[in-house]
Amino acid sequence: MPTETLSTFQLESGAELHGVPVQYRTWGQLNERRDNAVVVCHALTGSADATQWWGDLLGSGRAFDPEDDFVICLNAPGSPYGSVSPITENPATGAPYGADFPRVTIRDTVRLHRRVLTERLGVRSVRLAAGGSMGGMQVLEWAFEEKENGAPLVQALAPVAVGGRHAPWQIGCSEAQRQAIYADPRWQDGRYAPGEGPTQGLAAARMMAMISYRSYDSYRERFGRDRMTPDPATAAAPSTSDAAPPPERQNGEAAAPLPTENAPFAVESYLRHQGEKLIDRFDARCYVALTRQMDSHDVARGRGAYDEVLRSIEQPAFVVSIDSDALYPPAEQRELVDHLPNAQLDVLSSPHGHDAFLIETETLSKRLRDWRRV
Amino acid sequence: MPTETLSTFQLESGAELHGVPVQYRTWGQLNERRDNAVVVCHALTGSADATQWWGDLLGSGRAFDPEDDFVICLNAPGSPYGSVSPITENPATGAPYGADFPRVTIRDTVRLHRRVLTERLGVRSVRLAAGGSMGGMQVLEWAFEEKENGAPLVQALAPVAVGGRHAPWQIGCSEAQRQAIYADPRWQDGRYAPGEGPTQGLAAARMMAMISYRSYDSYRERFGRDRMTPDPATAAAPSTSDAAPPPERQNGEAAAPLPTENAPFAVESYLRHQGEKLIDRFDARCYVALTRQMDSHDVARGRGAYDEVLRSIEQPAFVVSIDSDALYPPAEQRELVDHLPNAQLDVLSSPHGHDAFLIETETLSKRLRDWRRV
């Protein structure tokens, strides 16, 4: 995937980054008027390759149509997938930023992406910014970006499964996850060498996150109280690190017999497996940096009273709510729609909780496409 | 508090414990017919001293009235508060059980407590078993205890904020918390010396638990996006261990100014403080043992189909549901009431989530008292 490198970029905190890489991917062509851009924003563990997580929304006749749209997805700073982050080189030292990576806000991410978009890719106007969860936070910040003449740079917004500011419940989830990382001795205040990070703490953090991303009902439906087939090794002494994919449910209402009592529950194995999967593809410092970035999300910070700031967002907005979302609950999207002067609420009914924005993608694509056509 | 020590006790797993202490506390007197006992069951981090957590339910004119009831609360095995647990002495070795403490089920707890109740305290019949969360699991297991003549030992049940079996969502929460403990190097597979346990992992686990015990709305109301007053030391380099009690909210809708951006959010400080508080009074092995015990909860295990097992519980039951409970959601109590043939559902409306069973105690006492009088 291509990367643009900005020579300098000043963060909200005042810290200045030099030689700042931003990785991105595009689909389709910028038109002559340079006004057909669609910015797609990724979530916490996503990358600029939107085909990996929103592929169903991308394509001919879909929500983002490369035959007509110039679709761009840019990797967020702090993410391990190509943009500036704790694992990229700090030009001042020649070594990765590591623990010295500065605090980045959602607003920083959008301003950085905006520079790549306008200065490097030549975009003059953005038709739509769309994204879920952390991506949705960026969407709401994109609303405030202006052209040189003061008009909005972005003409329409599609925030999904998100609110206008990170709530204390969400910050609490973030912080408990960070504390699990900090409890791992390999954290070393973030000063660990490549490949020697706090993988066990990161796995525990991911397990916590996975619970908040799904719903009580979806876990019940999928796992019940099934246990893994007893393995002599793990049955003898329950391991703290065994990981295996979950079995298909078979026994329905039948109770598990006593002899398997020491075998892990299917849901435990599933969560351990999810933890193991993430540590293979993510860095703990990046996880801390991005969750802190999400905690910074507050469209009102420095702009005035929250309700009034929302009322100042005049673009048409398609606000998607997931009825089973326990982490970014429907009340947050109703609040957005109550205050955004030109918004439509779309409720996605799904048992999958917050993760539905990555699961119910066919439905999401159709509805967003139809909204764009109106 | 008094302790009775049983010479032997066999667990469901087949393991046999010797010299088994059970700590308890009583209020009121056993009557001549020995049938006025009320068993009150504590939750995960509670003790046999019910005045510490359900004091409002205990007293003259309250739900449990020592002028008429012989109220008994027994400490659960696995808990650090006086009954047999990882921190009590294993007579076979003369040292604490530590990592060798065997797997205990909710059913084991109830059978152990039953022996103390009938063999040592001389109780012939129990008027009521009541408890919330883990205590409620015990209440449902008490339903199956019988007198020598086959009649139920317990005449009425009051399970609060609980279901008939631990659901995968709840097991997942438990397991993610255990993994945070395991990520702490001081865990040592549970083989740590007294005072050298994985306090940081236990604190992270407690923080996760505290999130699940409350609700999105209660956190929002209490903390908003307030930050702690910036402290030069912590503002310069965000600490991973600073803990302080939360401030009272002051600024309502006003956005926090940028200069405090590195100060911790009030909700972070609150959670860290909760983590710190628990490590002063709890042992990590006990936490693991008790969460595993809760995961064992399934009234149907070995007894038949779940629905039918619930239908076999004929005692009058007062099932209390908390409308904002995200951990043991109202659907679980509705399920109980749908199947228990003689049950009444009582919905406690509260913003406090699962913890409401420890907060809305005046209301709970009144309603339970009134139900007992009918």
User: Do A183 and B200 lie within an 8 Å CB cutoff?
Assistant: yes
Q: From start to end of B81-233, where are the E strands?
A: 89-90, 95-96, 126-132, 157-160
CB distance from B173 to chain A under 8 Å? Answer: yes
**Among B170, B216, B272, B303, the residue to mutate for chain A (most A Cβ within 10 A):** B216
* pLDDT score recorded for residue B262: 74
pLDDT tens sequence across B229-282 = 754 444 333 333 333 444 444 443 444 444 456 789 999 999 999 999 999 999
Domains of chain A in start order, with CATH, are 3-166+297-373 (3.40.50.1820), 170-286 (1.10.1740.110)
What's this model's pTM, rounded to 2 decimal places? 0.91
Distance from CA of A6 to the nearest CA of B (A): 25
Q: Tokens for B104, please give them.
A: 């205990």
Q: What integer is the mean pLDDT of B220-227? A: 94
Reference B236, options B271, B264, B268, B199; nearest CA is: B264
Show residues of chain B in contact with A183, CB under 8 Å. Answer: 180-181, 183-184, 198, 200-201, 203-204
* A345 vs A334: CA distance, rounded Å: 7
Q: Given this model, what pLDDT does residue A258 score?
A: 44
Active-site residue among A49, A354, A355, A365? A354
Q: What is the pLDDT along chain A (374 residues), one digit of tens a residue?
A: 999 999 999 999 999 999 999 999 999 999 999 999 999 999 999 999 999 999 999 999 999 999 999 999 999 999 999 999 999 999 999 999 999 999 999 999 999 999 999 999 999 999 999 999 999 999 999 999 999 999 999 999 999 999 999 999 999 999 999 999 999 999 999 999 988 999 999 999 999 999 999 999 999 999 999 998 754 444 333 333 333 444 444 443 444 444 456 789 999 999 999 999 999 999 999 999 999 999 999 999 999 999 999 999 999 999 999 999 999 999 999 999 999 999 999 999 999 999 999 999 999 999 999 999 98
Measured distance CA(A7)–CA(A87) in Å, rounded: 18
Q: Which of A83, A85, A133, A324 is catalytic?
A: A133
Whole-number Å distance between alpha carbons of B135 and B40: 8
In this predicted structure, what is the pLDDT of residue B240? 38
**Within a 13 Å sphere around the CA of B273, how many CA atoms are in the beta-carbon half?**
12
Residue A279's pLDDT is what? 95
Does A325 qualify as catalytic in the annotation? yes
Where in chain A does DSSP place strands (E)?
3-10, 16-27, 37-41, 70-74, 89-90, 95-96, 126-132, 157-160, 317-322, 343-348
Taking a C-beta distance cutoff of 8 angstroms, is the pair A207, A240 a contact?
Answer: no
Question: What are the DSSP calls for A318-373, one per residue?
Answer: EEEEETT-SSS-HHHHHHHHHH-TTEEEEEE--TTGGGHHHHSHHHHHHHHHHHHH
- Per-residue pLDDT band for B194 (boundaries 50, 70, 90) equals confident
pLDDT tens-digit map of B67-115 = 999 999 999 999 999 999 999 999 999 999 999 999 999 999 999 999 9
Cα A318 to Cα A322, A370, B129: the distances in Å are 13, 11, 52
Residue in the structure block whose two tokens are 């306008």: A118
Active site residue A354: yes
Q: Which two tokens stand for residue A303?
A: 């702009």
